[in-house]
Structure 1
Amino acid sequence: MALQKGSCHCGKVAFEVELDLQQALECNCSHCSRKGYLLTFVPHETLTVLRGEESLSTYTFNSHTIRHRFCATCGCAPFGEGRKPTGEATAAINVRCLEDVDLSQIKIIPVDGRSF
């Protein structure tokens, strides 16, 4: 596990998250594919918003169970929040918003979210 720092594009929102970044999911649903997300999921308690909670807006769709969080200024979406089927709070971290990550070193796993 390593502490990773991340932010939105303009820097108003900054966060850190404890994770072991070996792989990321690339979902083909209408939302993820349009935004180009690469996601990794972590227990919500490992995510800390350092700056900009007041700058975050929320988008939900479909079943409205995932809160897609994005910066109201630059529109960048660094993470989402939801619950696992077991009820445990989880965060979906957009790997593209993490600092100093070499995407060529991460295993990308395709997910067929379009079929759900």
Structure 2
Amino acid sequence: MTENNLDNRPVYHAACHCGTVRFTVLLTDGLRTVRRCNCSYCRMRGAVAVSANLDDIKVLQGEEVLTLYQFNTGEAKHYFCSCCGIYTFHQRRSSPHQYGVNVACIEGMSPFDFAEVPVNEGRSHPKDSVGGTSGIAGWLRYQANPEIPEN
């Protein structure tokens, strides 16, 4: 479900799997920021993310059950629901003024809605490389099986 905001960006409603954590989000550039990452943590987490500015996420319920996970430099802040374990969003190391938001938490959205998702090269983080750039490691592609009806 979405509603409009004063700056014309849609307001998305989102929640963790169990519904204890609920939040709204305004995306920085719609769904054009969709991505995955191949760093050690993201590779295991497997989420598809989109970007939102720090001020554009409002936790409506369950802030007290959000658990913070940090590793390596401790710069990125990964939040997940301590009840169901679902990653909701994280403050990005590469863009600390933004959150990466788990698209699977956004109401009516799924990682499988995207035919192709770029995978950022996160094994060598842009902040750790000369020139601060990072490339695309590859693409994650999804093609629905036409023999299985969608619900």
Q: Same fold (TM over 0.5)?
A: yes
Deviation at 1:108, TM superposition (A): 1.4
TM-score (norm: length of structure 1): 0.87
Distance (whole Å) between structure 2 residues aligned to residue 30 and residue 96 of structure 1: 20
Contact persistence 1:24–1:106 (CA under 8 A):
no
Match of 2:119 in 1: 110
* Aligned length in residues: 114
Compare CA radii of gyration and give the structure with the larger one: 2
- SS of the aligned residue for 1:37 comes to coil
Structure 2 stretches lacking a partner, 5+ long: 1-8, 126-151
After the TM superposition, which of the residue ranges 31-40 and 45-54 deviates more from structure 2? 31-40
Match of 1:43 in 2: 53
Distance (whole Å) between structure 2 residues aligned to residue 43 and residue 36 of structure 1: 22
Structure 1 stretches lacking a partner, 5+ long: none
Answering whether residue 33 of structure 2 is matched by residue 28 of structure 1, we say no
Contact persistence 1:80–1:91 (CA under 8 A):
yes
After the TM superposition, which of the residue ranges 7-16 and 96-105 deviates more from structure 2? 96-105
Equivalent in 58, 62, 74 of residue 64 of structure 1: 74
The amino acid of 2:12's aligned partner reads Q
Answering whether residue 97 of structure 2 is matched by residue 89 of structure 1, we say yes
Identity %: 33
Task: Write 1 or 2 for the structure with the bigger share of strand.
Answer: 1
- Of structures 1 and 2, the one scoring higher in RCO (CA 8 A, sep 6+) is 1
Distance (whole Å) between structure 2 residues aligned to residue 31 and residue 76 of structure 1: 14
Match of 1:2 in 2: 10
Matches within 5 A, 1:9-20: 9-19=17-27, 20=30
- SS of the aligned residue for 1:115 comes to coil
- Partner deviation per Cα, 1:51-109 (whole Å, 9 max, x = no partner): 00001110000110111001111110110124666xx6321111121111254346512
Distance (whole Å) between structure 2 residues aligned to residue 106 and residue 98 of structure 1: 18
Q: 1:14 to 1:106 in 2, by over 3 A?
A: farther
